[in-house]
Every structure is written in C-alpha cells, then in structure tokens.
Amino acid sequence: MSDAADISTPEEPKMDIRKPKPWHNWREFLTEIGTIVIGVAIALAGEQGVEALHNQHRADQARENIHNELAVGIGMMDTRDKIEACVSRRLDEVDALIRASAAGKLTKEPIWIGHPFFFLLADGQYKSAGQSGAVSLLPNANQGSYAAIYNAFADFSQAELVEQAAWGDLRVLENHPASTPVTDWQLRSALQKARTARWEVETAAHTARVAIAGLAIKPVGTFGFTQPSVCIPLNTLREEGERLVVKGRTNGVRYDEP
C-alpha cells in the first residue's frame, strides 16, 4: 500500500499590520499629535455644523407654526372687538329690562338677548414647540413675547367661558319671568358677571396686541359670521333672530342658538 497523499491546507493570508513608527524627536511627535487633534476638531466642527443647521430649521418651523396660530387668535380678538358697541348697548338694555321686571313693568314685547361671539383661542402649536424644545432655540425676546401673548389668550378664553354662562342666565328674560327677589338677584348677578367678563376680554385682547406689536404678524380675520347674535335688535322674535343668525353664517353650518 502506498502512503496516502499529503493534503495540506493553504496558508491564510497574513494581514499587513503596520507598526507605528517610532518617533525620533519631539517634532515628529508633535506633528502626529497635531494631525490627530486637527482631524478630531474637523469632525466635531462638521457635526456641530450639521446640528446647528438642524436646530435652525426646527426654530424656523416652530416660529412659522406659532405665528400662524397667533395670526388666527389675534384675528378672532379683532373680530370680537368689532361687536363691542353691540355688547355694550345690549348690556345697558338688559339692565333696563331687569329694572322694569323688578318694578313689575317688564314689556310684553318679544325679547331677543343673543350673546357675544365665542372663540376659544388655540395654543397647540406653541405647546408642541415647547415640549419638543424648539421654543428654547428662539431668541429670548421672542420667547418672552410668545409667553405674554399665550397667557393673554388663556385669560381671554377663560373670560369668554364665564361670559357665555352669564349671558345664558340673562336670556331667561326672553321668557318674561315673574319678578321675585330671587330672580331679581340672579339676573343682577348675571349682569355684573357679564360686565366683568367683558372687561376681562377687552383687557386680555389689549395685552395680546401690545405683546404682538413687534412680531410683524398680520391677523387672520375671516371666521364665517356676518350677523352677530348680540347685534340683532332687542325686540325681535326668537324665530326671526335664529333665522338671521343662520343666514349670517357664511360657512353654511346650521345649529340653534342657545
């Protein structure tokens, strides 16, 4: 029997690992260290540049979203401001009705009380930008203005809620209620709450306008109403008042008055 043929495994290729060259003097050492430091600095600068561009984009997007939201909110405040004469006149008329009721002389004519516009001002974009940290990327002056405006928005919306509840109580007069000490007190209380809430609405709107003055924001002013409920004449039948309000809704939405 012949010997078995030798089976050899091919040798694995050897990796060419270069050994670091020894430094012969301080100059070579400092040159290599300098090269490493410069390379790291360039990498860090590039990373910081990318991050700066990303943050700038985030800040610009947050500013645009917030300004669009503010434009709508200020537009709603301006829309409300246009009916203040009607609100003032109606409150004076309601005051006269309450006095007549207390004296047993409430008119038997139809009574339409109506109510002011009701706008809940949005703050979703501002909150979202704050939670994501984008607001902190904006200039301090802008951050201060935004905080003041959105605080005024919150005060405005809260005052509107109180106001609508008060006007709801005042609309009891449409039913020509019998005068009692209790109803007289309730109506007078509701009237005072309506007057106070109206003052708070106007104060909040003024605060917002002062804070927004330097931001170059143009208010959005179209909200689908051409016939304010509170501007309809006092001695209007309810059916006619509702018809006028619905007719004045440019968006075509139909729902009853409260």
How much is the pLDDT for 2? 46
Question: Rounded to whole angstroms, how far apart are CA atoms 245 and 226?
Answer: 8
Distance from C-alpha of 234 to C-alpha of 250, rounded to nearest angstrom: 23
The answer to whether 110 and 237 have CB atoms below 8 angstroms apart is yes
How far does Cα 217 stand from its chain's mean position? 14
Give which of 173, 201, 202 is closest to 186, Cα–Cα. 173
Which pLDDT score is estimated for 220? Answer: 87
Each residue's pLDDT expressed in tens, for the chain with a length of 258 residues? 445 445 555 555 555 555 555 655 666 666 667 777 777 667 666 666 656 666 788 889 999 999 999 999 999 999 999 999 999 999 999 999 999 999 988 888 999 999 998 888 999 999 999 999 999 999 998 999 999 999 999 999 999 999 999 999 999 999 999 999 999 999 999 999 999 999 999 999 999 999 999 898 999 876 767 889 999 999 999 999 988 888 877 666 666 677
pLDDT score for 207: 96
Tokens representing residue 185 in the block: 């007190």
Distance between CA atoms of residues 113 and 229, nearest Å: 8
Integer Rg of the chain from CA: 36
Q: Nearest to residue 223, comparing CAs of 115, 77, 68, 76?
A: 76
Output the six-digit token pair for 249: 């809704």
